[in-house]
Amino acid sequence: MESLSSSNSSSRDPLLDTSSHALLPTDAHAFIERYGLKEDDYEIFEQAATDLFLLSSDPDSHDSTTITTTTTRLLQDARNTNPIPNNPRKPESQPKTKWHHPLPLYLIVLALCLGAMSQGWSQASINGANLYYPQDFHLDNKSSTTHNTLIIGIINAAIYLSNGLVGSWLVAPLNARYGRRGATFLGGAICVVMNFLSGWSSSSWEALLGFRLLLGVGLGVVSSSLNVFAAEVAPAQIRGALAVGWQMFCAGGIFVGLGWNLVVDQYWGNYYWGQEKEEEHEAGMRWRVMLMAGAVPAVVLIVLIWWCPESPAWYVKHGEQYGKAFDSLCRIRNSKLEAARELLLAHQQQQKRPSRTNTTTTTAIQHDDDDNKNSSSSFRQTFFELYTVPRLRRATIAAYTVMLSQQLCGINIIAFYSSNIFVSAHFSPFAAELASTIFGLCNFLGALPAIFTMDTFGRRSLLLYTLPLMGLTLACTSFTFSFSSSSSSSASTTDPPHKQNFPLLTTSLIYIFCLLYSPGMGPVPAIYSAEVFPLSHREIGTSSSVAVTNLFAAILSLTFPYLLARMGTQGSFMLYAILNLVAWGLVFVLVPETKQLTLEKGLEEVFEQPTREFVRGKARRCVFWGR
């Protein structure tokens, strides 16, 4: 047994080259000394190191009870050989349920929900404003329809364009410099200011476009930072359920935003701020109030974020601030022992970097901060490794696939142009706005089951079950537009009820499609892209994935009006029904399951498997629906 003063104990990295469990007490002590942790926590890290060693030696044969018993015996054997203060292992307290966690963890989840609500409300606000600002900016001139349609389309797509082209790529440098909380605060502050200026100071469509572009930058920083933040702090067994909050409250933000638009549209009247206004100014104030209201959740977010502990993974990655990382973990975990285990796992992952030459990981021990001295070259290297390192390339392809599939399924087209779609189904303008608001409510309520199914059914299984049903629903919706069109041309007040019910059938099918989307294709992309990358590449990997989905969302927003003009509503819906089946095929081939796997170890093993072997294995089990 080596002594604590062994000369080579300081030259090697603790916990990376342990060859036998007898060395674990020494390694834990060396770890504490090297990274400036408190000596009072020696017993905790000693126990945690031994637990992890047992799991790594034979992960299938040790449950938590066996680990506790075996660890106590091993620690006593080690102390007999190399005496240390005798402090018997205390039994680890178990939470009453898997949802029983400290309040600071749920404050981070609440921050995630507020960020999502800010994005959803900002998306919905422009939906109602589209009815009014073209009139103010003289974009309703029928003599230049194509030009005006293009301008309106660019304004609608602005937040997605700037999010994908600028905002998502600022996530890595801002997070590296200011942390998860600081980056979220900066992005949230941009959202507050730009939402307000979009309504208050826009005197031309060019100004409105500029403010919406800057708003997209802020939303990009907030969305990527918070999704990474939540994935890093959530316990593995409920990580998917907690991260569902992003989709659910993004849908909630859309619902509240659409509801606010409806209230403003119907009840604003000729009064604002207690002063009577002429009718020609009423419409101009309506769209401005709609846009400014999007700042409300962002205001709450930038206050709440400073009540949340910083991500422990960020402390480990940036400056090896292990003392602060352990303090953060203790605030969001039920016991110090659980926190110590996660810190050791994060340390091990930080000391490893994926290799370009094989599918395993190679140790890259860093004894100083030389890598931080050349941040620009490090950023470029990290980015290109997403596509050149096999393990990272597989994770990147999988994340991009789920993000692309979210756009292929057609949900955002309905969200962008819901009022137009319902009008084409022969709704009045007010009824179309009301139907759009109900669509937002369905999107919110439909995400509730995902809280319980995300970590039981799994990400991959939810997508494979729901995508074909979504495609079938869109195909049926496509046919109802044909029936509705043919029946409306000959409809009269004396027609039988079945000839007047096609608009109701169309709306019902769209709501069913939304309810199928919300527990699967809705929350999975954000969760999946935030968890599949290792710590060394998590920020750039997640931000590039968000860039992909926002760029495709912008393209769809710009092109759908022209697609609608060329193919009609029926043809457009049938096209997206087919694209849902294409998305199913991509998910089946390229997206592995990640449910209940730890970020530090479990996902490493999943993405070390070559894609060819993964596809071959799933093809053999396709009768079980690709589980």
CATH code for position 219:
1.20.1250.20
Same domain, 398 and 481: yes
Look at the block and give the residue holding tokens 């953060």: 328
Same domain, 84 and 49: yes
Same domain, 297 and 173: yes
Confidence of residue 240 (pLDDT cuts 50, 70, 90): confident
- The more confidently predicted of residues 454 and 596 is 454
Q: What is the model's pTM?
A: 0.77
Is 205 within a domain?
yes
Same domain, 613 and 466: yes
- Which tokens belong to 144? 């230049």
Same domain, 84 and 108: no
Q: What is the DSSP letter of 60?
A: T
Is the pLDDT assigned to residue 436 strictly greater than 90? Answer: no
Domain coverage including residue 117:
103-308+382-487+499-624
The pairing of strands 275-276 and 271-272 is: antiparallel
Mean of pLDDT values over 369-377: 48
Same domain, 147 and 53: no
Same domain, 46 and 156: no
Is the pLDDT assigned to residue 191 strictly greater than 90? Answer: yes
Beta strands in 249-366 (DSSP E): 271-272, 275-276, 352-354, 361-363
Same domain, 293 and 438: yes
Residue 275 has phi, psi (to 5 degrees) of: -115, 135
- The more confidently predicted of residues 626 and 624 is 624
What pLDDT score was predicted for residue 367? 38
What pLDDT score was predicted for residue 241? 77
Residue type for position 350: Q
Across the chain, mean pLDDT equals 77
What pLDDT score was predicted for residue 488? 47
What pLDDT score was predicted for residue 448? 87
Cβ–Cβ < 8 Å for 265, 110: no
What pLDDT score was predicted for residue 475? 94
Confidence of residue 396 (pLDDT cuts 50, 70, 90): very high
Same domain, 277 and 391: yes
What pLDDT score was predicted for residue 209? 93
Is 522 within a domain?
yes
Same domain, 32 and 158: no
Cβ–Cβ < 8 Å for 261, 290: yes
What pLDDT score was predicted for residue 626? 46
Measure the CA–CA gap between 15 and 183, rounded to whole angstroms. Answer: 32
Of 61-70, 274-283, 332-341, 557-566, the least confident: 61-70
- The more confidently predicted of residues 348 and 324 is 324
- Which tokens belong to 137? 């900016």
Task: Collapse the DSSP code of 363 into the 3-class scheme (helix H, G, I; strand E, B; otherwise coil) and give the result.
Answer: strand
Task: Collapse the DSSP code of 4 into the 3-class scheme (helix H, G, I; strand E, B; otherwise coil) and give the result.
Answer: coil
Is 298 within a domain?
yes
Is the pLDDT assigned to residue 94 strictly greater than 80? Answer: no
What pLDDT score was predicted for residue 268? 65
Is 574 within a domain?
yes
Q: What percent of the chain is predicted at pLDDT more than 90?
A: 25
Confidence of residue 346 (pLDDT cuts 50, 70, 90): confident
Residues 406, 410, 413, CA angle at the centre, nearest 5°? 115
What pLDDT score was predicted for residue 168? 87
Cβ–Cβ < 8 Å for 311, 156: no
What pLDDT score was predicted for residue 239? 77
Residue type for position 455: D
What pLDDT score was predicted for residue 104? 92
Is the pLDDT assigned to residue 562 strictly greater than 90? Answer: no
Domains in the chain: how many in total? 2
What pLDDT score was predicted for residue 228? 87
pLDDT in tens, 60-92: 444 444 444 444 444 444 444 444 343 444 445
Residue 272 has phi, psi (to 5 degrees) of: -150, 135
Is 586 within a domain?
yes
Same domain, 53 and 138: no
Is 468 within a domain?
yes
Is 361 within a domain?
no
Cβ–Cβ < 8 Å for 542, 223: no
pLDDT in tens, 470-516: 999 999 998 887 765 554 444 444 444 444 456 788 889 999 999 99
- The more confidently predicted of residues 271 and 596 is 596
Of residues 73, 110, 104, 415, the one with CA closest to residue 249: 110
Mean of pLDDT values over 180-195: 96
Is 358 within a domain?
no
Last residue of a domain, one of 294, 325, 349: 349
- The more confidently predicted of residues 261 and 425 is 261
Tell me the C-alpha to C-alpha distance, in Å, between residue 581 and each of 328, 354, 505: 44, 34, 23
Same domain, 173 and 280: yes
What pLDDT score was predicted for residue 285? 80
What pLDDT score was predicted for residue 375? 53
